[in-house]
Structure 1
């Protein structure tokens, strides 16, 4: 506790210690105070653990060069542990137990304990929605959908899970920091009904548009590749996939196509703003940065 306090004082921020801060529930337990436990039931947000997670891990990761010559990006070691295994551990730490992984490139190398696998044999040169469509029948009930090449602090997932809207996406409001590094790859910028704010009483933000080519003045953040859904949200996403899969260009469609379709049909997609504390592994520079994440 003293070390945590010292670090907060030195850095003037709680961002780097959020995962180490004792949950309110644990404080209540240590105090053994019945009135506090009753207050927890009344005031703390309640959630059901999502019944499953879907991780999209079909791509090779060509920008990583020889690193992915024999293994897909999701199995590249980060600090000695495959990226996919880190994701699986984070989901299980949040009580997300039923996990489906969509694999494609070097599929036999994509392994993780107690995980269900779905194959996307048509992974090369196709968009993300084709991979998600392979797991169409797993998009059911409360769920998390995640890219397979991202790292994030545990509190981001925990905060996402307690949101109650039917579809919620995690969006980094500090998108300009990443843009300054000339980020490689496809970037999902978003415009929302309001920008990020430190005010605690702000109304929830909702997605208005997503795409890689939004003008800077319209950008409110970057979607990090995490989605949380309720049963109704899963149905909406599944129905949207069914419609989009009839398009001749479906093989090339990406998540911005899905989200813009949802918004266009009147589906509300909540934006949960975060401020950094995540990264995606697109190239060798990202991989080097991930080793110290």
Structure 2
């Protein structure tokens, strides 16, 4: 790949068959469709992909499928989320060996570590990484909020490629850009504040919603990247309604899967203990999507 690693990265769900196995054929088909929509990349094995519910063998099979399906047409980032630095590093090596362009790590979850302890844990992980690293700041799930000064401490490793930011602090994207400069990419990680993040100088968008609506998400980024803010705002007033229904639902992974199923892209259920979206939520989302596409 020669295009910069900035823009829209779609985050796949993990499709399952009726007997509960991974449906790698369905994953491959959807990747082909999403890449054809023009996204910059695919970020596999994130939380939306139920990565923590997969066995090591399933994880390896999925990485191979993603690399094969993308076929050098887009960038590939693989989530390497683990509790210990040793396991993170092992997952990074695996992803690099399989052909990933970059990886994503989070603070060790379940423990509410202080930021200094998180940075101490992540520094050797990044320093030893074979590929560039995105650090995912997700205080809602990890219990630790990494502010710009904390993340700047990782820049000296030479492997900090980007930050995926989902703290929901109103000015955090701008603060990260000011502190980290232009050499480190800053991605919006919360779908409901994509346009606000772009306006603050984000490098792009890591979007679960782009697995469902890749054309619309890509078009929103294209407007913003070109400085066409009138076009971006006009699209956002319509797209934002659908994305808000996804982002605000605790069963958003199931909701995305069910919506794709209604659109002819069967994804199967979620694995327990993840919740299943109710029929009312699905109906509301499909109505919003229909309205979005009618007005296109």
What TM-score do the two structures reach when normalised by structure 1?
Answer: 0.31
Please tell me whether Structure 1 or Structure 2 has the larger radius of gyration of its CA atoms.
1
What TM-score do the two structures reach when normalised by structure 2?
Answer: 0.31
